[in-house]
Amino acid sequence: MTKLILGQTLSFTGNPFTDGPDAAHHERRGAVVIDGGKITAVGPADQIKSAHPNAEVTDMDDHLLMAGFIDAHVHYPQTAIIASWGKRLIDWLNTYTFPEERRFADPEYAAKIANAYCDFALSNGTTTAASFCTIHPESVDAYFQAAADRNMRMVGGKTCMNRNAIDGLHDTTQSAYDDSKALIDRWHGTGRATYAITPRFSPTSTDDQLAALGGLWSERPTCLMQTHLSEQTEEIAWVRELFPNARDYLDTYEQHGLVREGAIMGHSIHLTDREIATMRDHGVTIAHCPTSNTFIGSGLCDVTGLNAAGVTTGLATDTGGGSSFSMLHTMAAAYEVAQLRGDALHASHLLYLATVSSAKTLGLSDKIGNLEAGKEADLIALNLASTAPIELSSARATDIWESIFPTIMMGDDRAISGVWIAGQRQTLT
C-alpha cells in the first residue's frame, strides 16, 4: 500500500560546502510518498495528498522528515567497551579493544552484540553504518544477519591483521584472503549488504597481507575497502618505522592496490599534501570521526579544507573509540572540532555530512542519503522540541536552521521520533 508521511521535510539539491544553505530545500508542511520500499515523491503536503487520496497517512505534525543518518565508520564489536578510560590509541587498543574483540570467536556473543548495536543505531536515527568486524568470520555473519533481520542497508567486513595484536587475535595472509573471499561470496549484494575488505590499519598487516587483500579487491571490484589512516602522530611515526620504503602512510596502501575509488579512510587527520592530492585524484573518501578524535586526543580534522580540496568526507561515530552512538552528538562534536580550527560549520554542513556526504563516502548515494524520489525509503523524523531546553531555544528560531541547530547541539535519542527502514516504521527500543 502507498504510504504518505506528513511533516516538515528537508532534502539537499546541492552541496552546502560550495553552494551554501540554499543547497537544501525545506517544506514547512511537506509530505513523503513511499511505495515498494522506495520514496516516489516529496513535496508540499496539500499537493501530495491530493495526488494520493487513498494512501495510508502518518502525520508527524511539525517534526522534521529527512534521510536517515549514515555512520561511515564504526566498530560494532566495541559496543560494550564504549567510553572506556584510556590514554592514547595504541594503549586503548591493547587494553580494551583487542581483549574484547577476542570474544567474538563465540557466535552467540557476536550475535548478542550485533543485535544490540543495530538496536542502538536505529534508536539514534542511524539507518546505515559501515562497520569493522573482528578477525572471526562469525563476527561478520552475526553483523550482517542482525542487519538482515531489520532489513538495514549495512556495510561491513572481517578485520584482517596478522601482526602487532594480542595472542588469539591474529589471522594469516592466507586466512585473511580466504575468509574475506568466502564472506564476500556469502554476503556482498545479498539483500541490503555491502562487503568492505578490511585491513585494520597498516601496522597490523604485513606487506604480504596488504598485497593479498589488494589482489582480492581486484578480483571482487564491486566491494568497498575500509581502513584507518593518519589518526595519531605516534601511529604515523610507527608506520614510518614499519614501512621504511613508503613515501607516506597512504603509500603503504597505495603500493598494494588499496587506493582507488571505493576506498574509505577513517580519520585522516594528519595528511600530507601528496596524500590529499592522491586521495582526490583516485576517488578515495574519508570518514571523519570527531568524538573519537577528541576522546583519544588524536587531533582536529580539517573537514572544510578536505571538501575544498575535492575529497569527499562523511561523518562517523567510530564506536567505541567514539564516545556516543548518536550522530546528533557526533555532529555537535564536528562543529566544536571545526570551531577549534577557526571554522564555524553551518547546520546545513552538519546534516549534509551525516546523510548525503556519508552516502557518497560509502558509494551508496544512488540508493540512500537524501529525501528524494527514487531513493530507498530509509528516513527519520526529528522532534525539534524533544527536551525543555531545546524547545525553549528553538522557539526563538527565525528560520529552519536556527530551529534545527539546538537539536544538533543538545539532542539525543529522544529527538528521534520515527525511523523508517525501506518504508517500514521501526519499533524503537
Q: What is the pLDDT of residue 224?
A: 98
Look at the alpha carbons of 241, 243, 244, 247 in this order and tell me if their dihedral is positive or negative.
negative
Q: What is the pTM of this model?
A: 0.97
Q: What is the pLDDT of residue 88?
A: 67
CA 14 to each of CA 20, 97, 143, 297, 356: distance values in angstroms, whole numbers, following the listed order:
9, 39, 33, 33, 9
In degrees rounded to 5, what are phi and psi of residue 272? -85, 165
3-state secondary structure of 186: helix
Instruction: Give all domains of the chain, ordered by start, each with its CATH number.
Output: 3-68+370-425 (2.30.40.10), 69-361 (3.20.20.140)
Q: How far apart are CA 29 and CA 6, in angstroms?
A: 7
Q: For residue range 343-387, what is the model confidence (pLDDT) as tens digits? A: 999 999 999 999 999 999 999 999 999 999 999 999 999 999 999
- Strand 379-382 and strand 56-67: the pairing is antiparallel
Q: In this structure, what is the dihedral angle of CA atoms 143, 191, 210, 208, given to the nearest 10 degrees?
A: 90
Residues of the chain with pLDDT under 70: 86-89
Q: How far apart are CA 344 and CA 288, in angstroms?
A: 16
Cell of 159: 578485520
